[in-house]
Structure 1
Amino acid sequence: MAVSLFAYTKVMARIGSGSPPADAPPEQRADLIRVYKSERRMVLFRGDAAISTYQISLGSAADAGPKHREGDEKTPEGRYEIDWRNPKSVAHLSLHISYPNPNERHEAEVNGYPPGGSIMIHGLPNGWGLLGEAHRLWDWTDGCIAVTDAEMRDIWARVPDHTPIDIMP
């Protein structure tokens, strides 16, 4: 059974997410993302107004503080930005978060370990979209921020590159 699930996941990862949605009209686009880790909540803002709120799953060690190193399965904390996007991600679409910042990179170098990277906002692994909201029952990512596939399509359309993201404890 486990081998079949693994094979299914590998095949679906190669198939991809399909085409991404078109950009939302300018008045519906976010200019800030704020993540509240302890509440498992992500909010898109335009100016001072919240324009969308999503329940999220995080890294499986999310409650253990900020990310420091590759493999710690923690979600980072701090100010970052969305610096690129991947329409052919192994999860349903993904927006890259600019972790690690220069200070985090330096701290990791001084302490002799890799800081990690590839922290994304993404949907469910390709082929697993039917899980829908059930994915929120546990924190299952390696440090990323996960939403449903439908929510990811909405976020993709509303969040331009270089949008700042504040990830709070």
Structure 2
Amino acid sequence: MSIFRWVGVFLLVALISGCGGDSKFRTYNGPEVTRVIVMKNKREMYLMHGSKKLKSYDIGLGFAPVGDKWVEGDGRTPEGTYIIDRRNPNSRYHLSVGMNYPNVIDVAQAKALGQRPGGDIFIHGQGPYYKKGAPRDWTAGCIAVTDRQMEDIYAMVKDGTPITILP
């Protein structure tokens, strides 16, 4: 093979490998995240390994951030302990991981009020729908971080991880 062909093949490989850009899917090889803790009053979320804090994030909450979620559409972020049980790589908010809200207690509370508890509570990024200058608490009840932070969370937090959301 001539030198020109080798140069051409090298340039083609370099061009193709450069087309991918930054992937939103990251890898994580550190200690296992054994629990996620959300402190609503501080607007902070912690990724924990046992009692050691691995990462902390400033967060946004539902547009009505004070109090527990009782019914669908109330704009509140639920309080209690749940499990991360799904992930959405095609979320309209960049990436997201979902939790098993509502649980049996949440359903019973909403039913007692003659309402539905709602659902689809996620930790998610901002995505293209987040408006610059929007209030800090802008979601319908989810927990929001930046897209870049969500990439780390998506890589670090596995399905089955408990999440405790405190007032």
Pair in the same fold by TM > 0.5: yes
Aligned mates of 1:75, 1:120 — CA distance in 2? 10
Report sequence identity in percent.
Answer: 44
Aligned mates of 1:149, 1:40 — CA distance in 2? 17
In structure 1, what residue type is equivalent to 2:62? G
The count of aligned residue pairs is 146
Could you say if the C-alpha distance between residues 146 and 161 of structure 1 is closer, same or farther in structure 2, counting changes exceeding 3 Å? Answer: same
Q: If you compute each CA radius of gyration, which structure gives the higher value, 1 or 2? A: 2
Aligned mates of 1:29, 1:122 — CA distance in 2? 20
1:128 Cα deviation from its structure 2 partner:
4.9
TM-score, scaled relative to structure 2: 0.81
Equivalent runs, 1:1-169 vs 2, <5 Å = 20-25=24-29, 27-63=30-66, 65-126=67-128, 128=130, 131=132, 137-169=135-167
Aligned mates of 1:96, 1:153 — CA distance in 2? 14
- Contact residue 20 and residue 87 of structure 1 kept, 8 A: no
Structure 1 gaps, min length 5: 1-17
TM-score, scaled relative to structure 1: 0.80
Structure 2 gaps, min length 5: 1-21
1:110 Cα deviation from its structure 2 partner:
2.9
Aligned mates of 1:23, 1:119 — CA distance in 2? 24
More helix by share: 1
SS in structure 2 of the partner of residue 139 of structure 1: coil
